[in-house]
Structure 1
Amino acid sequence: MYAVTVEFSLKSGNMNVFLPLMEHNARTSVRAEPDCLQFDVCSDPARPDHVFLYELYSNAKAFELHLATAHFRDFDAKTRDMIAEKHVRTYSEVQR
């Protein structure tokens, strides 16, 4: 299992445009990418310009493939100028 978290701080006033694009990217990822197992989009009314993503993939290669998909590249191009900050963190499952 390979987990990815992403935190977006948006430029003020962009949430209403950003969020539908992000939700479309998430739905398409789960539907079209067999190794994208989960893709949650979270927001907090107390932080109106902040979006948090939690994504699960079968492995790191599946996440790399996600970044190369047409739907991700389209989302990235459309939202690039809306983002003030973006932090991506990845986690591999601990083997016991």
Structure 2
Amino acid sequence: MIALTVSLQVVPGCRDDFLKAIEENAARSFGDEPGCRYFDVVCDLSDDHHFVFHEVYDDEAAVEAHRAAPHFKVWREAAAKYVVPGSQVNTLSRRLFHHS
């Protein structure tokens, strides 16, 4: 399994529009992409404009399929409007343990 962690800051005044856009992207990713196992969106308790996404995919091919999906293009257009430029950090890693 491949984990993708995304950390970003939302432009002040754009939080509601950002949430609509990422909720749609997360739902479509999890619902439409067979290789997407998790797509959690969390908000920092001390900064309601700082978000982290925890995504888990079957493999690197599933990550690439995610990035090629039509809803991802829509998400990237929204992110260009709502995410503070330069604030997004993506980290790909191999998931070693999962407890549920």
Please report the TM-score for the alignment, with normalisation by the length of structure 2: 0.88
CA distance in 2, matches of 1:21, 1:58: 24
CA distance in 1, matches of 2:10, 2:41: 14
1:12 has 2:19 as partner? no
CA distance in 2, matches of 1:50, 1:78: 16
Percent of matched pairs sharing the same residue? 29
CA distance in 1, matches of 2:78, 2:39: 19
Structure 2 gap ranges (5+): none
Cross-structure match for 1:87: 89
Q: Which stretch of the first structure deviates more once superposed, 7-16 or 32-41? A: 7-16
Cross-structure match for 2:2: 2
Structure 1 gap ranges (5+): none
CA distance in 2, matches of 1:14, 1:45: 18
Please report the TM-score for the alignment, with normalisation by the length of structure 1: 0.91
Specify the code of the residue in structure 2 equivalent to 1:91.
S
Structure with the bigger percentage of strand:
1
Quote how far apart the aligned CAs of 1:12 are.
1.1
Runs of 4+ off more than 2 Å = none
CA distance in 2, matches of 1:48, 1:89: 21
CA distance in 1, matches of 2:36, 2:48: 27
